[in-house]
Structure 1
Amino acid sequence: MSDGVLGLTQLFLFLFFIMLGFPIAFTLMAMGLFFGYLGMGPLIFDLLVQRTYSVMANDVLISVPLFVFMGYIIERANILDRLFRSLQMASGNIPGSLAVATLATCALFATATGIVGAVVTLMGLLAFPAMLRAGYDVKLASGVVAAGGCLGILIPPSILLILYGATAGVSVVQLYAAAFIPGVMLAGCYILYAMGIAIVKPSVAPRLPPEEVNVPFTTILVSLVTSFFPLALLIAMVLGAILMGLATPSEAAAMGSLGSIILAIAYRSFSVAKLKESVFLTARTSAMVCWLFVGSAIFSSVFGYLGGQQLVEEFFKGLPLNSFTFMVLAQILIFILGWPLEWTEIIVIFVPIFLPLLDDFGVDPLFFGIMIALNLQTSFLSPPVAMAAFYLKGVAPKHVRLEDIFRGCMPFIYIVLMCMALIYIFPGLVHYLPNRLYGGGGSGTPTLIDRPPEGGFQEEEVTLPNLN
């Protein structure tokens, strides 16, 4: 068996074991070590040490546990109920007001937490029953909660963008700036769809009774001041510090973590037990991310050493592709991979396979990363994996079928695809903020190679002798 075929065998066996339910990080390391030993002998263990050290010394990844900790503290501050109620009162006269309030709450709360499962679960317990009691169609209510909860993987501070930046060597700060407008646009499109369907088909999203709509303005204002504005201010401070260059993502994440604790104390929701639980969950999530990167680094290095990467590159170069058709093909492949795989597996395994091809086809890695972040919204919504649908099913009433949730997610998948098309047609939606804030960030076309001058983590190169 040639080295190239051996590399592809490694990739397909990895997918096979993942489908069987084996842990991702340790499967990556096991496959990398096994095939690495076949290809390079005992030198694979030197590579294991080098890659482990390079990942653990990566400054970019320091912000991951801090943002995760911030999210868990806010999740346990019990502000979601106040936030949803205040936004519900503020949007009472808008068509589909409960759906609009749900999406707005999801967008803000997902920005603060970045944890899809937490947002979908909490909104499934709070907003989903409220919509059903108000007579909303089950499919619409399901799609609103599931799609809204996924916004946190696109809108900064997104853990996905941190991992992509660390993988691709792209500045996380510029990724955050580039993702802000697409994220807000996607959330806005969701809200416009909910309002539109409520106008066209009032039966699927009935208006609230007058006693719930005619709330005094002072009551709405007090409610917003005590629930919406504190969280919005915390998020604005964190993102503003990053985007304006006042702090690195890690420093801003530390500030956000402290702010989340202060917010929890202010809402009288802070306790030592909740703090310990948040620390434990943060440590577990951070360990998973670090070992994913270690396993990915070993797997990718062995895959490239065995010639698998070269075969993939030769395959794509042999196709009659230009920049546009390459982007379309890459996004279709990522969309399909999102059916059986989670976004973490796609970012750490399959994105590195595409990265060397970006220079060949003249694709900006910043633009490519935002398109992936948009595309991976669908991986949470489309079966058979559709984790957001399963999170919602776990807390939904028994009469709500999984089939109804899947059907409710379909219009929002179409909205994601529409937004991807709009962003490709108008790439300035991605490039405007990086260009405006940092200058010289590209011409606004996705075909221009435009790497940030500094920032981002470029993995250390390890030279291995040719043993063939």
Structure 2
Amino acid sequence: MFELSALGVEWGTFLLFGMMIVLLMMGKPLAYLTGFVAMFFAIGWFGPNVLPLLTSRIYSFVGEYTLIAVPMFVLMASLLDRTNIAKDLYNAMQFFGGRIKGGVAVQTLVVAVFLAAMSGIIGGETVLLGMLALPQMLRLGYDKKLAIGTVCAGGSLGTMVPPSIVLIIYGLTANVSIGDLFTAAVMPALMLAGFYLVYILVRCHLQPSLAPTASGDELDDFGGIGKVIMDIAAPGIIIVFVLGSIYGGIASVTEAASVGVTAVLLLAAVRRELKFSVLQESLVQTMRTCGMIIWIGISASALIGVYNLMGGSRFVQGMILGLDVSPLLIILLMMGILIFLGMFMDWIGIALLTMPIFVPIVTGLGYDPVWFGVVFCMNMQVSFLSPPFGPAAFYLKSVAPPEITLIDIFSSVWPFILMQLLALALVVLNPGIALWLVNL
């Protein structure tokens, strides 16, 4: 009987990743194909006696205490999606933004930052902004491409703005402080949001026809300045509860997630929006989302465990570190791999499959793994928008008017992708942008 171990780790690596790419191109779910490849190599390379080692690795992943933060933040996003907290925030921001050129697009980005800082869930923000902001901008006569690009780019900010789920998963897989990752991501996230705002304001100043301002009657219909302040203060309270408890040293990330859920529940109850149906639908959505994350995590943990036993991590590290090139070129090579994988895979699978291999190489090159976590998130943000399988386009398409096609969406996001790449280049060339607050 032929044993896979006879191939050697070099050819075994090519076979392993080749099988994954073929199965992905066949449309197989990532969790199932990763688990299948893991079992195939575990039994074919070592025999059935290796299975107890895989179960122990899976148990260590599932038993990770910090992982509890993920369902808590997903539940927060689900509750926000089913109450009027985000809708009222968006309407209140129009009181300030509607009076300037491109103001509705600007308020959309500001609300996107608020939503990201409340929940850290990416797809939900894009859908929510697609339902709230896109119809409003199109009704006011905004340029279609500017409106679509603003919604997609704003929704993708959830990749970086703490408490980002991407940062949490990276911290778990790379064994890096999640609190440090949150701190490091603040400056790059604000810098990128600033790029978006400047771009919109400059374009609308040079081409006023792109963004007509709202009429005076629309701007005055807000129910009074008191209501505007309360609608903006409510999400601010949630952000203070979550991020304030983390940065203030009061709570860990996991505890802060639970505090955030409590704050949203209390706020919804005070606003008389906490109904049984809302809670039930939010819990069901949380179970579905977290079930996907857990199954991908289980399969990826098994595959990485098998690959490490094969000697794959040492092989990849030795091959990359043995290249006679500068460390910066090696980092660029890794980012190229991440962007390529982002064309076919979800960010969760990419993080769980690549970070256990990439992070030791990064530290071996002398780079800070916290900085690389921010770089990884920025890479995933690019893949979130870019064709052919940019998730943001499909999230927005699900709630956009029928006349807006996927071609319209992908052709609208290119200016924002270029700004993402510019921000990524700045952080790569100047790690201090990410590490300044951490070191401070």
- The answer to whether TM tops 0.5 is yes
Which region of structure 1 is more displaced relative to structure 2, 2-11 or 44-53? Answer: 2-11
Which region of structure 1 is more displaced relative to structure 2, 420-429 or 85-94? Answer: 420-429
- 1:55-134 matches, within 5 Å, as 55-134=61-140
| Corresponding position: 1:427 with 2:431 | yes
**Which residue of the partner structure matches residue 444 of structure 1?**
none
Aligned match of 1:359 in 358, 363, 377?
A: 363
Aligned match of 1:262 in 261, 266, 269?
A: 266
Q: What are the superposed Cα offsets for residues 2-52 of structure 1, whole Å, 9 maximum, x if unpaired?
A: 233123311221122122222222322221111111111122210222012
The 2-side partners of 1:210 and 1:73 are apart by 33
Return the letter of the residue paired with 1:48: L
- 1:7-22 matches, within 5 Å, as 7-22=13-28
Judge conservation of contact 1:4–1:306 (CA < 8 Å) in 2.
no
**Which residue of the partner structure matches residue 335 of structure 1?**
339
Return the letter of the residue paired with 1:299: L
The 2-side partners of 1:224 and 1:322 are apart by 54
Residue 228 to residue 259, structure 1, CA distance change in 2 (3 Å) = same
**Which residue of the partner structure matches residue 177 of structure 1?**
183
Return the letter of the residue paired with 1:203: S
Judge conservation of contact 2:385–2:413 (CA < 8 Å) in 1.
yes
The 1-side partners of 2:321 and 2:86 are apart by 50
| Corresponding position: 1:308 with 2:312 | yes
Judge conservation of contact 1:7–1:306 (CA < 8 Å) in 2.
no
Give the CA deviation at 1:219: 5.8
Q: What are the superposed Cα offsets for residues 191-241 of structure 1, whole Å, 9 maximum, x if unpaired?
A: 11111111111121222234335x49x966323322111111211221011
Return the letter of the residue paired with 1:83: L
- 1:144-183 matches, within 5 Å, as 144-183=150-189
The 2-side partners of 1:270 and 1:210 are apart by 34
| Corresponding position: 1:29 with 2:39 | no
Aligned match of 1:277 in 281, 299, 306?
A: 281
**Which residue of the partner structure matches residue 239 of structure 1?**
243
**Which residue of the partner structure matches residue 299 of structure 1?**
303
Which region of structure 1 is more displaced relative to structure 2, 266-275 or 202-211? Answer: 202-211
Q: What are the superposed Cα offsets for residues 277-300 of structure 1, whole Å, 9 maximum, x if unpaired?
A: 211222222232222222112101
| Corresponding position: 1:287 with 2:304 | no
Judge conservation of contact 1:176–1:243 (CA < 8 Å) in 2.
no
Judge conservation of contact 2:242–2:260 (CA < 8 Å) in 1.
yes
**Which residue of the partner structure matches residue 372 of structure 2?**
368
Unaligned runs of 5+ in 1: 437-468
Return the letter of the residue paired with 1:38: G
Secondary structure (helix, strand or coil) at the match of 2:226 reads helix
Which region of structure 1 is more displaced relative to structure 2, 197-206 or 4-13? Answer: 4-13
The 2-side partners of 1:164 and 1:179 are apart by 12
The 2-side partners of 1:219 and 1:431 are apart by 43
The 2-side partners of 1:257 and 1:142 are apart by 30
Judge conservation of contact 1:139–1:407 (CA < 8 Å) in 2.
yes
Secondary structure (helix, strand or coil) at the match of 1:278 reads helix
Residue 308 to residue 101, structure 1, CA distance change in 2 (3 Å) = same
The 2-side partners of 1:424 and 1:259 are apart by 37
The 2-side partners of 1:125 and 1:290 are apart by 29
Moved over 6 A (4+): none
Bigger helix fraction: 2
Return the letter of the residue paired with 1:127: A
Unaligned runs of 5+ in 2: 1-6
Return the letter of the residue paired with 2:76: M
Identical aligned residues as a percent:
36
Secondary structure (helix, strand or coil) at the match of 1:377 reads helix
Q: What are the superposed Cα offsets for residues 329-384 of structure 1, whole Å, 9 maximum, x if unpaired?
A: 21222122212222112111122221221133212111001011111111111001
**Number of equivalences:** 434
Return the letter of the residue paired with 1:331: M
Judge conservation of contact 2:24–2:344 (CA < 8 Å) in 1.
no
Aligned match of 1:225 in 207, 229, 233?
A: 229
Give the CA deviation at 1:318: 3.5
- 1:319-334 matches, within 5 Å, as 319-334=323-338
Judge conservation of contact 1:323–1:363 (CA < 8 Å) in 2.
no
* TM-score computed with the length of structure 2 as normaliser: 0.94
The 1-side partners of 2:385 and 2:109 are apart by 15
Which region of structure 1 is more displaced relative to structure 2, 306-315 or 87-96? Answer: 306-315
Judge conservation of contact 1:77–1:267 (CA < 8 Å) in 2.
no
* TM-score computed with the length of structure 1 as normaliser: 0.89
**Which residue of the partner structure matches residue 382 of structure 1?**
386
Q: What are the superposed Cα offsets for residues 387-430 of structure 1, whole Å, 9 maximum, x if unpaired?
A: 11111122222222221211111111011111112223432221
The 1-side partners of 2:131 and 2:285 are apart by 21
Residue 135 to residue 38, structure 1, CA distance change in 2 (3 Å) = same
